[in-house]
Amino acid sequence: MSLTKKIAVLPGDGVGPEVINPAIRVLDAVAQKYGYHFEFKFGSIGADAIEKFGTPLTDATLADCINSDAVLLGAVGHPKYDKDPTLPVRPEMGLLKIRKELGLFASIRPVITYSSLYHLSPVKSNLLEHVDIVIFRELTGGIYFGEKKHDAEFESASDQSIYTAKEITAIARVAFEYAAKRKRKITLVDKANILETSRLWRKVVTALAASYPSAELNFMYADNAAMQLIVNPAQFDVILTDNLFGDILSDEASVLSGSLGLLPSASIGTGPALFEPIHGAYSQTAGRDTANPIGTILAVAMMMEYFEFIEAAADIREAVQWAIQNSFVSKDLDPVNFYFTSTIGELICDYITGKTDHAVNKGNIQIRKSTII
């Protein structure tokens, strides 16, 4: 196993760069500890790339990603484009392009809860115990990539949703294999009462389930799943779903953990995989060093697992647990006594490299807390 890995880094827009910085420091920390060698190649994506090159993802950046072992991405999106839906070139196109070009058909989005953050979830604490869900979201098909049309006056519009059995099989296989290492329960979320594509999903996934006899497959309509995630989230193990439902349900599920800022994702396909937090650019707070770096740092842990750098992944996860348990958290989790994005990154790195007493000396760390309040 090679200890050298090429990582394409695309900080992107909004809070993207400020969550990528601590993630790079964490990569440096595990590299130092375990003798890995990470070669970073930085590139632009999203509104940042539109500003610089007139396109949300240049061919050169895409080539760097294709030639890497993994891609680390911050966020894309800018309010300027949200305000004008008619703009033909949009930051999100960069993300969709990279997903499509790298063939990243499966987005893996784990959701866990932390007892010290139960109070931040709008869901009652007793429902948050034992929540451990992984959403498998199909990422390169469906309504995201179907033909988009509108008439000359923009008075009518349509988005087509197409799935093939091949596409469904590809993601379903990943989900079944992953479920085998967990509680083996897979819930296919769809709208098979309404949508033809959903009926195809049910047919294909049911047939595939025969190859995974130990898996327990069940079906749930997306509207019910949205409700069940709030009223009884612990019932889920692996959720398998299409691109749009997966997008919506993963944001919804994030409130179980306490903040959208805590959730990482790994998007895998045929070539290099891509790792990113699931939160967006959140431009209104960009540049203040207040974003939550944990989603991105946990995305790095997923990257380490992908490289089979298991010790590094375990170290990162332990450091994150430690930071959260000891309330070294960002403003979204504690609007009064919060720590800055960069400080949380430093604390996590110090924990990993052993510079921090693992039994925590909060008195010393206190000094690095926010002084805004």
Question: Could you list the residues that contact Mg ion (CB under 5 A)?
Answer: 247
237 binds, among Mg ion, ligand IPM, none (CB under 5 to 8 A by kind): none
Judged by CB under 6 A, the residue of 280, 293, 295, 345 near ligand IPM is 280
In the bound state, the residue with its beta carbon closest to Mg ion is: 247
Tokens of residue 128, six digits: 């948050």
Beta bridge partners of 8: 41, 71
Judged by CB under 6 A, the residue of 14, 77, 233, 295 near ligand IPM is 77
Query: Per CB under 6 A, does 69 bind ligand IPM?
Result: no
Whichever of 247 and 346 has its CB closer to ligand IPM, that residue is: 247
Site for ligand IPM in 90-109 (CB under 6 A): 92, 95
Q: How many residues bind ligand IPM (CB under 6 A)?
A: 7
Give backbone dihedrals phi and psi of 258, rounded to 5 degrees, phi first. 120, -25
77 binds, among ligand IPM, Mg ion, none (CB under 5 to 8 A by kind): ligand IPM
Catalytic center residues: 144, 191, 223, 247, 251
- What is the closest distance, in whole angstroms, from the C-beta atom of residue 241 to Mg ion in the complex? 13
Judged by CB under 6 A, the residue of 111, 215, 278, 352 near ligand IPM is 278
Give the C-alpha separation, 347 to 328, whole Å.
8
Query: Per CB under 6 A, does 74 bind ligand IPM?
Result: no
Whichever of 5 and 78 has its CB closer to ligand IPM, that residue is: 78
332 binds, among Mg ion, ligand IPM, none (CB under 5 to 8 A by kind): none
How many Cβ atoms from other residues are within 10 Å of residue 51's Cβ? Answer: 13
Closest CA to 253 of 181, 192, 189: 189
Query: Per CB under 6 A, does 76 bind ligand IPM?
Result: yes
92 binds, among ligand IPM, Mg ion, none (CB under 5 to 8 A by kind): ligand IPM
How many Cβ atoms from other residues are within 10 Å of residue 204's Cβ? Answer: 19
Query: Per CB under 6 A, does 143 bind ligand IPM?
Result: no
Amino acid type, 256: L
Q: How many residues would you count in the chain?
A: 373
Q: What kind and span of H or E run contains 11? A: strand 4-12
Tokens of residue 322, six digits: 């430690």
Query: Per CB under 6 A, does 18 bind ligand IPM?
Result: no
Site for ligand IPM in 213-252 (CB under 6 A): 247
Instruction: Give the N- to C-terminal CA distance of the chain in Å, as an integer.
Output: 48
Instruction: Return the ∠ at Cα 134 (arms to 269 and 136), rounded to 5°.
Output: 35
Region label for 354, one of left (φ > 0), alpha (ψ between -120 and 50) or beta (otherwise): left
The single-letter DSSP state of residue 33 is: H
Contacts with ligand IPM, residue ranges (CB under 6 A):
76-77, 92, 95, 247, 278, 280
